[in-house]
């Protein structure tokens, strides 16, 4: 029996759901893809409808790139012998059904992680820790949405004992929908903040979505929740046997104390659980990643590991989140944390930068999806930046208020730029040995284009 997903399984499942299937060769499916430009041989491409582009327009491109199977609502041109073609009125629903069927077949113990910030760091720490005991699968990249999470599940294999998945949302009902597909036994709620408020309308609506995962897990297994967050504490403060609380709060069942920031080397702290206290170390830099570390340890406890083994496995995790540390040609250290940005994650990253030695440079772009809170949150970030760096580069129109707030707070070297290109050129020209540069912005800013300039490899 094949350990991984195959086109034969796709054909049987999709026909069973009532869809038209043009069966091709029985071959392995290596994973899922939604961007025809990045399709790799053996993947399943799903033609999702989008705000600006319809995935059906790119089915032929995906097949030309080697997709073994596609799910689409409009049949591709040509015969495409050997490929499996699923024609479904709603490709999003169809791939969700396929993912759920495959998840049930493999039957791993699923850990789902949600939160406004820190999901990826928590996922990487959790999967890395659990891999010390279990054959562990994890979602790749940002596959955490209504479209992305089903694609993440397609890379599951029958031998996997645990699957660690990010569960994101930007619309009402999305987390409940994804719980129906993934069926998490452990549900982590890290925090509740303002990201996506422009789409959901209020912090209360965001909280209702995020808490859905905890409520689901409390019924199915274990809700693992951060009670340092007041909105989470209001829901789960009265802990039961199905709720494992974590945080610095005295009432947390898994408690952290005596935190020591060791810069880029990570963070040291004491862990207390069940009457036992042990010294611990998280390899990810910054005290703001501690909730992710506690989530990883808590997930291990929920799945049967003891505190000492979980502590040891955490310290040994090699991959610890999105931030990438690189050495520039100038001798400066570049902290590439530009995958995404929100008020809490930016504040945490700035405080981490502020604790480092040497000249500290912040290279900051816009925080997206803040709606009516955008100007106020950028202003607050400017006040934090004022005490966290020696030179502040603020990029783009939205960051003009961030720059002004930093100046108002007494920062002596604030540089605002209309474009990231001009900012990167000036920043690169002044970098020297011993500098540390934090690069952070929301994905839409596409700061990946300035990293080579700062590193001196462009």
DSSP states of 14-52 as a string?
HHHTT-EEE-----B--EEES-GGG--TTEEEE--B-SS
Q: Are 334 and 322 a contacting pair, CB within 8 Å?
A: no
Residue-level pLDDT at 44: 97
Pairing of strands 109-114, 222-226: unpaired
Distance (Å, rounded) from C-alpha 121 to C-alpha 124? 5
Instruction: Give start-end residues of each CATH 3.90.190.20 domain in the chain.
Output: 324-455
Please give the structure tokens belonging to residue 377.
């949150």
Residues of the chain with CATH 3.40.1190.10: 107-316
Residue 116 has a pLDDT of 87
Half-sphere exposure (CA, 13 Å, Cβ side) for 353?
34
What are phi and psi for residue 272, nearest 5 degrees?
Answer: -125, 130
Parts of the chain belonging to CATH 3.40.1390.10: 7-91
The Cα–Cα gap between 186 and 156 comes to: 18
Gyration radius of the chain's alpha carbons: 23
Kindly state the DSSP code that residue 116 receives in the 8-state scheme. Answer: S
Question: Cα–Cα distances in Å, from 229 out to 190, 214, 242, 246, 248?
Answer: 8, 14, 19, 10, 10
Q: How far is CA 216 from CA 66, 184, 187, 242, in A?
A: 38, 8, 7, 11
Residues forming a β-bridge with 72: 87
CATH pick for 107-316 out of 3.40.1190.10, 1.10.10.10, 3.20.20.70, 3.30.450.20: 3.40.1190.10
Measured CA to CA, the distance from residue 206 to residue 175 in angstroms comes to 11
Say which residues have a Cβ less than 8 Å from residue 204's Cβ, sequence separation at least 6.
none
Q: Which of 63, 40, 317 is nearest to 151 (CA)?
A: 40
- In this structure, the number of other CB atoms found within 10 A of the CB of residue 170 comes to 15
The C-alpha atoms of residue 156 and residue 4 are separated, in whole angstroms, by 7
Residues 95, 26: Cα–Cα separation, whole Å? 18
- How far from 351 is each of 285, 313, 356, 388, CA to CA, in Å? 11, 27, 9, 6
- CA 350, distance to chain mean position in Å, is 19
CB within 8 Å of 422: residues ≥ 6 apart: none
Contact of 22 with 132, CB cutoff 8 Å:
no
Task: Return the CATH architecture of domain 7-91.
Answer: 3-Layer(aba) Sandwich (3.40)
Q: pLDDT by residue for the chain (458 residues), tens digit each? A: 579 999 999 999 999 999 999 999 999 999 999 999 889 999 999 999 977 788 999 999 999 999 999 999 999 988 899 999 999 999 999 999 999 999 999 999 999 999 988 898 899 999 999 999 999 999 987 789 999 999 999 999 999 999 999 999 888 999 999 999 999 999 999 999 866 666 677 888 888 999 999 999 999 899 999 999 999 999 997 767 799 999 999 999 999 999 998 888 889 999 999 999 999 999 988 888 899 999 999 999 999 999 999 999 999 998 544 567 889 999 999 998 887 788 877 888 898 899 888 999 999 999 887 887 889 999 999 999 999 999 999 999 999 999 999 999 999 999 999 999 999 999 999 999 999 999 999 878 889 899 999 999 87
| CATH topology classification for 324-455 | 3.90.190
């Amino acid at each position: 029996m094949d350990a991984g997903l195959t086109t034969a399984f796709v054909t049987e499942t999709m026909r069973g759901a009532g869809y038209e299937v043009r069966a091709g060769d029985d071959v392995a499916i290596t994973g899922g893809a939604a961007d025809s430009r990045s399709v790799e041989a053996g993947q399943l491409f799903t033609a999702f409808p989008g705000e600006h582009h319809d995935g059906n327009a790119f089915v032929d491109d995906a097949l030309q790139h080697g997709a073994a199977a596609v799910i689409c609502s409009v049949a591709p041109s040509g015969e495409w012998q050997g490929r499996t073609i699923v024609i479904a009125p709603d490709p999003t629903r169809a791939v969700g059904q396929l993912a759920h069927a495959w998840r049930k077949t493999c039957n791993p113990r699923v850990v789902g992680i949600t939160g406004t910030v820190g999901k990826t760091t928590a996922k990487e720490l959790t999967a890395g820790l659990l891999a010390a005991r279990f054959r562990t699968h994890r979602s790749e990249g940002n596959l955490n949405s209504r479209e992305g999470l089903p694609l993440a599940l397609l890379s599951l294999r029958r031998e996997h004992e645990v699957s660690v998945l990010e569960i994101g949302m930007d619309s009402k009902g999305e987390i409940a929908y994804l719980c129906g597909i993934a069926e998490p036994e452990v549900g982590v709620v890290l925090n509740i903040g303002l990201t996506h408020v422009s789409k959901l309308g209020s912090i209360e609506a965001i909280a209702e979505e995020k808490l859905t995962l905890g409520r689901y897990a409390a019924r199915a297994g274990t809700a693992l929740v951060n009670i340092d967050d007041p909105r989470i504490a209001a829901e789960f403060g009265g802990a039961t046997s199905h709720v494992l609380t974590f945080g610095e709060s005295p009432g947390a069942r898994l408690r952290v104390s005596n935190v020591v920031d060791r810069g880029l080397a990570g963070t040291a702290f004491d862990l207390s659980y069940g009457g036992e206290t042990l010294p611990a170390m998280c390899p990810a830099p910054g005290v703001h990643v501690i909730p992710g570390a506690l989530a990883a340890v808590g997930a291990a406890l929920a799945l049967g590991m003891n505190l000492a083994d979980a502590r040891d496995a955490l310290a040994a995790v090699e991959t610890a989140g999105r931030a990438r540390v690189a050495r520039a040609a100038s001798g400066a250290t570049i902290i590439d944390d530009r995958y995404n940005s929100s008020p809490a994650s930016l504040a945490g990253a700035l405080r981490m930068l502020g604790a480092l030695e040497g000249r500290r440079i912040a290279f900051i772009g816009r925080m997206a999806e803040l709606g009516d809170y955008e100007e106020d949150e950028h202003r607050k970030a400017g006040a934090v930046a004022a005490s966290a760096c020696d030179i502040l580069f603020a990029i783009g129109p939205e960051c003009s208020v961030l720059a002004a707030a930093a100046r108002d707070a007494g920062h002596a070297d604030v540089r605002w730029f209309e474009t990231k290109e001009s900012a990167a050129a000036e920043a690169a020209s002044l970098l020297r040995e011993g500098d540390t540069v934090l690069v952070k912005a929301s994905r839409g800013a596409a700061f990946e284009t300035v990293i080579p300039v700062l590193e001196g490899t462009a």
